Every structure is written in C-alpha cells, then in structure tokens.
Structure 1
Amino acid sequence: MRKMLAAVVSRVFSGEVQKPPLRGLLASFNFSSKATCDIKKCDLFRLEEGPATSTLLTREEALKYYRAMQVIRRMELKSDQLYKQKFIRGFCHLCDGQEACYVGLEAGINPTDHIITSYRSHGVSYTRGMSVKSILAELTGRRAGCSKGKGGSMHMYHKNFYGGNGIVGAQGPLGAAYNMSALWKLPCIFICENNRYSMGTAIERAAASTEYYKRGSFIPGLRVNGMDILCVREATKFAANHCRSGKGPILVELLTYRYHGHSMSDPGISYRTREEVHDVRSKSDPIMLFREKMVNNNLSNVEELKEIDAEVKKEVEEAAQFAITDPEPSVEEIAHSIYQQSTPFEVRGTNKWIKYKSIS
C-alpha cells in the first residue's frame, strides 16, 4: 500500500497525472467498520438506572456526526463574519462549542419527533434538516431563508421543528409546562443546555443550586457530558425510551460551553477570561474529542477528516455567497405566511392608507 501511494504521489508532482481524489485512495485503507466506545456515566435523579456507559459506533455514523458538527462550527464562524460585515443585523446568538448537543440529540430521536426550542437554534435547525443556505439566507433576511427572510436568527421553522422563541423560557409552556407534563405523563424531554453562563452571569453567581437536572423536582433527571456527542446520543436514547414507555417526562441537563458571547453585542470576555475559553477549546472541544476518538478507534484518519473539513468549508462559503446575493422579500409579502390555510384578507400597514394582503 505504501509503495502504491508513493508511486501516485511521485507521478502527481512530476506532472504526469492530475491529483487523484483522496477519497479514492482512502477507500483502500483497512478502516474498522465499528468500534465500542466508553462514555462517562451520567448523574441521575429519581432514576434507578441510567444510560449505558459504553456504546457501539459505526464508521458510517462517525463520519456523519463529524461532518455535521463541522458544518455547524463553520456556519457559526461564517455568521460571525457576516454580522461584522453588516450583512446580518439585529439579534444573533451563536452556538459554536455546543455542536455535540445538537448532533447527539438528533441521533437519539426520530425525524418524526417534534422539537420546540429557544433562540441560539442555528445548530438544531441544521440537524432538523434545514440546509446551510436556508439558515444563512434567513440570517441575512433573504427570500430563500427558512422563514422567508422575516424571522432572522431567533425564528427558524421546519417540519416538526418549532424553533427560536426570543422570550427566555418561552419554549417550555409552548411545549408543555412541567406540572402538566408530569400530571398527564406526557412523552416530553426537557433539555437544559447548561453552557455555564446566563447571559453574562456565571451559574455559580446566579443559582443557589447548579444541579439543574434536579430542578424538575417531581420529574426524573439526567446530567450529561454535553461535550461528548456519544454521551448525548445515549442519554437522549435513554430519555426517549423512558417517555415512549409511558413513564412520563424527563429532564436532561447537558453540560456544555459556548465560545462566543451571549449575543453579537457581547464580546464574551468581560465576565470570563480568555484563558478560560482557551482552556475549554484545548481540552474539551467536542469536535476535537470526537476526531481523536475516530482516529484512535481506526474509524478514520487525519487525511480523510481533513478532506471532510475542506468539503464543509466549500459548502459554507458557497452558502454564504448565496445568502448575500439572494433577493430580499418584497414589502408586499410582509403579511404572507402568518396564518396557515386561511383565505386571503387585507392587513393594515403603518397607516390606514397602506394595506397588504395576508396569504397563507
């Protein structure tokens, strides 16, 4: 194998042949088809047993998860750039650092399950099936955006996804409040993404008890390593099985970290040190940890993962270019898509002489 690769490389540099696709060469490597991976035990509340402490990871799953996390990371970094270039305006909450939460969550449920979330929802918007183009186009207020350019960062919607509520905690009562879900034993998983800060206040300064997985009181809870995608996946599977078996709701706290500030107006370093952020990046980054797990278990290698990184970068760059050139929605469409399956009717504009048509 080494001789074959050396021969190909020497011919490339000599100009005899064009550089072959790396994937073709990598297909010849003897990668493992699957591996058993150990994961950290979850903390339990009102539960006799919890998720498994080891899980089977296939090579196909690993490549899929890795790519999805890289897409979310690149998309958020590009959003940061577009905001600073003033292509994105208004509120914008980025989720880089929390990629394992969204990819792991989606891997543990079914596409037919429903998700209601708050803002900072770009990552879960992508895992729910939205394209990078539709997300970035929504951020720049373009017609091809997932909410037709009218919602922006905090209001993204898709099939079985009712995302982005700007009011803090609004997704709780919109989905099912704690008391109602426990009283009626509703199949509901409450997810707490604990990224260690409530806006600019550290959780230790804001809460007498930071054990949020116990906050349901009469609802069972799990506390999970949210920087490990496999830990999130297995915890979500456990929680979903708990709900589907008729045991009622469950609360899952994901211990994670956001690299950006609360929003784009927050530099994120006035209430925490640069050293703290760097320490998390260097020791607990979810993409780095998963990359190491894949390589150590012979599910991939550095060369293949670098090629995936390049593909993702190209996809996000193309989506960003689309997002700044796609037409903006016309003013006449301002009242469109407010109601579903409603006959058209007139809506008054900023004064009584301006009227728009509401069309489903």
Structure 2
Amino acid sequence: MTTRAARPSIPQPSGGAAGDALDPAVRRGLYETMVLSRTYEEAILREYHADKGPGFDIGKGLIPGEMHLSAGQEPVAAGICAHLTTDDAVTATHRPHHFAVAHGVDLRRMTAEIFGREGGLGRGRGGHMHLFDPATHFSCSGIIAEGYPPALGQAFAFHRQGTDRIAVAVTGEGAANQGAFHESLNLAARWRLPVVFVVEDNDWGISVARTASTAVDSNADRAVAYGIPGERIEGNEVEAVHDAARRAVARARAGEGPSLIEVHTLRLWGHFEGDAQGYRFDLEEAPSHDPLPRYEARLREAGVLDDTAVEQIRSAASERVEDAIAFAMSSPVPDPASATSYVFA
C-alpha cells in the first residue's frame, strides 16, 4: 500500500501580536526591509529569465547556474536582523538574499557577485549561493546545514574576546534532520555560546514535504533535548519574529547561551528557478498568503503607512535595486586566465 504525505499547511495569521505595541518607526523599518528584499528578488528574477531561452537553459544568460529566491520568507530576515549590527555574524542558507539584504550587505557588490562579475564580493567566483562579506560578517553556502558549525566558531571567538557580539545561524526545516544541526546545538549549549539558531520552515525540503520527512511537528521542540529555549512562530508574521528574536538576542548577548527559533514561513516561488513545482499541493493558494501585502494592510490600518509613504518606500527600494543591477552589468567579466587566482589566501 502506498501512502501520501500529509498536505503542508500554509502559514496562517495569528491575529493580534505583541508587535502591535512596537514603535511606529520600528514597524515601518520592518516593512522597508521586506519591501527592499522583495524588490531585489523580483529584479533578480527578471534578469535571470531575460535570456535563458529558447526553452530554458540553466547555463545561459547574464546569471548562469541555479537560482534560489526567497520571496515570501522576508519576515524571518527582517525580524531577526532588526536586532543585529554588522559586528554580529550571520551564516545563511543557499536561499540567502533576504538575510543579506536585511543584514546590510552591499547591494552593488552582492549583485555583481550574483552576475559573476569582478566587482562582486568574491570577484564573481562564488555566485549567489556563496556570498561572503567580511564587512558585515555575512556568509552563506550551497551545502545543507553548512552554516551552523561556522557560526559556532564565530560565537566562540566573540566569547573569547569578551564582547557581546553574537552569531545567527540560519537553516531550513529539512536541514534540521542533518547531523550538523544536532551537533551544533549540543556544542553551543555545552559551551553556552552566543548563538541564535534560526530554522526557516517553508514546508518543502526541495520537493519533500516536512510532514513526510520529519518525525516532529516543530523543530523548536528539539531545543529541549539540549537544554536551551525553543520557540516556533506561526503565521509568518514579522512582528512575532521580531519579538522572539529580541528575547533570543538579549539572552545571547548576556552570556546566557543559545536559543532556537523556528518560523513557519512561505516559499512563494520554486525551490529553484525552473522548478515546475508539480509536487506542491498548496501552490494555487500560496499567493493569497503573501506576507508583504498582508503586513502593509496591517500598518495602513494602524496609521503607520499611507499611500504616500508606501510609494516613497517602494520608489526608494526600486532605485537602490536598479542601481545595483546597473553596477553589476557594467562590471567586467573575470578573465579566464585568472581562474586559479584567489584560490588560496
């Protein structure tokens, strides 16, 4: 007999949250970060598909190779990074742009890297899954759960230096079944390292539903096994994420050790560009749960935003993003003769 995985549940809003008491400037800032991130992803989507035809050739175009975009997951990055400075470290996943944007990575150099140009963060050698920015202590990797152990190293260094700097390690819900996830939680708890572990549960590990791959309903429940706080945020609500992150970051800075936050978020687009998504039971209803218009409506109702403010925020985001695209396209392509350069420090 064959069995079918249970249908993933789209994140549902949970009504009034503690965030309703947030300062209006903070709420507007969260919205601005989400708009900038979405505007950036829409522009990358546009440029990625502009010259992939005829048909779809993943190796062609201005942006060759795979592309994993984060539309729908903006609340996680905005809510977490609102409590960080560029002295704190963030290790992100193969779907990293929203966290890079929220953490202040230079848009021009990040975009040039995505385009494979010399002006990029890694001189065009790394591409979109291997962004590395020492200026903001940001990194990401195409290897599942790879960011957790390096975050421990950074947190250990911060601790030894006697600072209140922290590391934030991000992964997806599928990677929470990897050994690196459990080993990292164990060691961070044992050494009381200043780390905030973040799990983005977008319901799908590529094409496998979380309900078919994971034995627990919430990865946050796994925190108790390591003696640390664990919290799951439903509804993909940025202010709820902000509230949970406030507690976890304060705990880490105070030397009280790590915390785990899981956010039930939403992947609006494919696992990668070109993904037909035939496996998704929730595809038709997903756009109606887009967190960006939902949060905008909430802020309009609260009097934080009006038509003028929304237009200003969107225009400013578009101007920054288009400037970054133009910078990337004007940056030179690396000389093939330099392929072996920068391999070793």
Which range, TM-score by smaller chain? 0.7 to 0.9
- Count of residue pairs the alignment pairs up: 287
Distance across 2 between alignment mates of 1:323 and 1:66: 26
TM-score normalised by length of structure 1: 0.74
Distance across 2 between alignment mates of 1:322 and 1:244: 37
AA matched with 1:330: D
Matched position secondary structure for 1:130 = coil
Following TM superposition, by how much is the alpha carbon of 1:129 offset from its aligned partner in structure 2, in angstroms?
1.6
**Aligned counterpart in structure 2 of residue 141 of structure 1, from 101, 105, 116:** 116
**Aligned counterpart in structure 2 of residue 311 of structure 1, from 305, 313, 316:** 316
**Aligned counterpart in structure 1 of residue 208 of structure 2, from 181, 201, 222:** 201
AA matched with 1:237: R
Following TM superposition, by how much is the alpha carbon of 1:226 offset from its aligned partner in structure 2, in angstroms?
6.2
Deviates more, 1:68-77 or 1:240-249: 240-249
RMSD: 2.1
Q: Does the 8 Å CA contact 1:120/1:154 hold for their aligned counterparts?
A: yes
The aligned residue for residue 100 of structure 2 is: 125
1:270 partnered with 2:279: yes
The aligned residue for residue 111 of structure 1 is: 86
User: Who wins on radius of gyration, i.e. which is larger?
Assistant: 1
Following TM superposition, by how much is the alpha carbon of 1:339 offset from its aligned partner in structure 2, in angstroms?
4.5
Following TM superposition, by how much is the alpha carbon of 1:332 offset from its aligned partner in structure 2, in angstroms?
4.4
Sequence identity of aligned pairs in percent? 26
AA matched with 2:42: L
Cα shift readout 1:45-72 (whole Å, capped 9, x = no counterpart): xxxxxxxx34543343333322221111
Matched position secondary structure for 1:215 = helix
Distance across 2 between alignment mates of 1:250 and 1:286: 25
**Aligned counterpart in structure 2 of residue 68 of structure 1, from 9, 33, 36:** 33
> What are the equivalent positions in structure 2 for 1:174-253 lying under 5 Å apart?
174-176=150-152, 177-216=184-223, 217-218=225-226, 219-225=228-234, 227-253=236-262
Matched position secondary structure for 2:212 = helix
Which has the bigger relative contact order, CA under 8 A and spacing at least 6? 2
AA matched with 1:313: S
Q: Does the 8 Å CA contact 1:98/1:226 hold for their aligned counterparts?
A: no
Q: Does the 8 Å CA contact 2:87/2:137 hold for their aligned counterparts?
A: no
Q: Does the 8 Å CA contact 1:226/1:232 hold for their aligned counterparts?
A: no
Matched position secondary structure for 2:139 = strand
TM-score normalised by length of structure 2: 0.77
Following TM superposition, by how much is the alpha carbon of 1:266 offset from its aligned partner in structure 2, in angstroms?
1.4
**Aligned counterpart in structure 2 of residue 324 of structure 1, from 310, 313, 329:** 329
Distance across 2 between alignment mates of 1:308 and 1:80: 20
Distance across 2 between alignment mates of 1:279 and 1:293: 15
Structure 1, gaps ≥5 residues long:
1-37, 41-52, 341-360
The aligned residue for residue 258 of structure 1 is: 267
- Report the structure, 1 or 2, having the larger strand content: 1
1:82 partnered with 2:47: yes
Residues 266 and 64 (structure 1), Cα distance of their counterparts in 2 relative to 1, 3 Å cut: same
Structure 2, gaps ≥5 residues long:
1-14, 52-60, 153-183
Q: Does the 8 Å CA contact 2:268/2:287 hold for their aligned counterparts?
A: no
Q: Does the 8 Å CA contact 2:100/2:138 hold for their aligned counterparts?
A: no
**Aligned counterpart in structure 1 of residue 301 of structure 2, from 293, 296, 312:** 296
Matched position secondary structure for 2:26 = helix
Q: Does the 8 Å CA contact 1:187/1:246 hold for their aligned counterparts?
A: yes
The aligned residue for residue 170 of structure 1 is: 146
AA matched with 2:302: N
Distance across 2 between alignment mates of 1:172 and 1:39: 33
Matched position secondary structure for 2:82 = helix
Residues 210 and 315 (structure 1), Cα distance of their counterparts in 2 relative to 1, 3 Å cut: same
Following TM superposition, by how much is the alpha carbon of 1:205 offset from its aligned partner in structure 2, in angstroms?
1.5
